Structure 1
């Protein structure tokens, strides 16, 4: 082998500590070492700095709903490929991979439940399924949930985390912005409340539609909430955005959201708000 070999060097990547105790990771926010078990027991919140890591839809449901009360609905509605769309791979194959990787059929789970004893219609998005993108099925499930809430006279709670509209469905995806917004307008007409919970990240067409229409809009700490990301905006306007722009704290100061609630307090806060809002309608 020559001195300047082009073969890849054999570099050993250490995945565990030298004492053989695995599971440690470095926090992306404070760079402190934390153990995965400790993080899991703390609702996926860094115990050192309070950084909120993403949760799956099932973890969100377990966090918010009373144990055993969530009833999954409309799971039989599945995405199709109306445009026969293909970029680096066919859309149908992307959907199949997303289903296999997540074990679910779409980027949102919906159904009735109890939240601290309060009846509610709950929708939870999942970033793990194609970046939580809103396709026609996501919009349809949320709309059906809202219509179910109107029929059963329930308040609606939706937890958003999304990269925006699903580009593989083009106009079909963009139509969901109008559809979900129209459904929420009907909810308002009958005097039922809608609590919108924004988590990291909530962007694009989701932010531009139902996520911003809550009677009360809650955000988790340091969540990215925007239509277009900071890099896109900076490239467009040719200016640097203010420090922390498009994060929860910045948006609270500028009136786009109503409050920031830490994950540990989220269920109790939502339950109290539901009790106040529902009793107000009686």
Structure 2
């Protein structure tokens, strides 16, 4: 009886009460192999502390890091046909969409928000690589166009965080048509004399680079981001030559005049706010002056004592 209660029962209880360890509890740096606790990585804006490698950010984390107080209003996006071409490869396109929506909790690859950045109203769109590689289909194209139209109607700068592998092949020509549609919407923003700032994140490739991602008034890139139309492996196989070190990375493009600046993620919010104020000629935010610590204002002089009564 003691053997059952002292040995068998504890083993059964430990087996039944075993807790699952989350898969994303630790994150490995792709460059150095450094293991970082997920909560620490999230608090550091998904930048590896040791190497400075910029991991991908989901749209919610990105918007929280830019808007004042991490608060904004979601811009309602139009509904589009789920599978206009009835496309099927290894699995049906509708099934792929269901899987991507369950994985990310989003309806498609682009999320748009309206809020304030250091007190200045702005409209921001973020592309999510986690949703089918950030590919651009009708829904994502409509989201970009809606974001640009919202910026025009509200008279705000438009900031685009571009990311993705190109056009969505499951939508064929309907996907390719998003390139001229988004380009026309950018032109409408330009005619309204409102700033268009693009932040190129890793990776920004294909038709995304060939349309709205390279039309900004200011082109910003995150460190180490891959920015190209065709990837370096495809180019090497085509020309049969070894490409230069760092080819098509953000720093290489900065050296060759393709982007205006490479900005660390920790400095991104301040840089965007400064650019928006510069391009809209908005006044600098008023900051309250705080008296230096240790200095105490002088007390008023004491009143003379009242004369004693007789």
The two structures share one fold, judged by TM-score above 0.5? yes
**CA displacement, residues 180-207 of structure 1 (integer Å, 9 cap, x when unaligned):** 0111111111211100001011111111
2:222 equivalent to 1:220: yes
Change (3 A) 1:238 1:128: same
Q: How many angstroms does 1:276 deviate by? A: 0.5
2:134 corresponds to which of 129, 132, 148: 132
* Residue number in structure 1 paired with 2:260: 258
SS in 1 for 2:74: coil
2:164 equivalent to 1:162: yes
* Residue number in structure 2 paired with 1:60: 62
Q: What 5-or-longer segments of structure 2 have no aligned partner?
A: 1-19, 283-310
Q: How many angstroms does 1:68 deviate by? A: 5.1
Q: How many angstroms does 1:27 deviate by? A: 1.6
1:39 corresponds to which of 31, 37, 41: 41
Structure 1 length-normalised TM: 0.88
2:152 equivalent to 1:179: no
Instruction: Tell me if structure 2 keeps the 8 A contact 1:44–1:53.
Output: yes
Instruction: Tell me if structure 2 keeps the 8 A contact 1:133–1:163.
Output: yes
Moved more, 162-171 or 75-84: 75-84
Q: How many residues align?
A: 261
Measure the CA separation in 1 of the matches of 2:87 and 2:26. Answer: 41
**CA displacement, residues 63-107 of structure 1 (integer Å, 9 cap, x when unaligned):** 111125421122452451111111111111101111111111010
Moved more, 208-217 or 73-82: 73-82
Q: How many angstroms does 1:121 deviate by? A: 1.1
**CA displacement, residues 199-242 of structure 1 (integer Å, 9 cap, x when unaligned):** 01111111111010000011100001111111111112221211
Q: How many angstroms does 1:277 deviate by? A: 0.4
RMSD value, Cα: 1.7
In our comparison, the structure showing a higher alpha carbon Rg is 2
Measure the CA separation in 2 of the matches of 1:31 and 1:141. Answer: 36
Structure 2 length-normalised TM: 0.81
Instruction: Tell me if structure 2 keeps the 8 A contact 1:121–1:156.
Output: yes
Measure the CA separation in 1 of the matches of 2:67 and 2:131. Answer: 21
Change (3 A) 1:183 1:25: closer
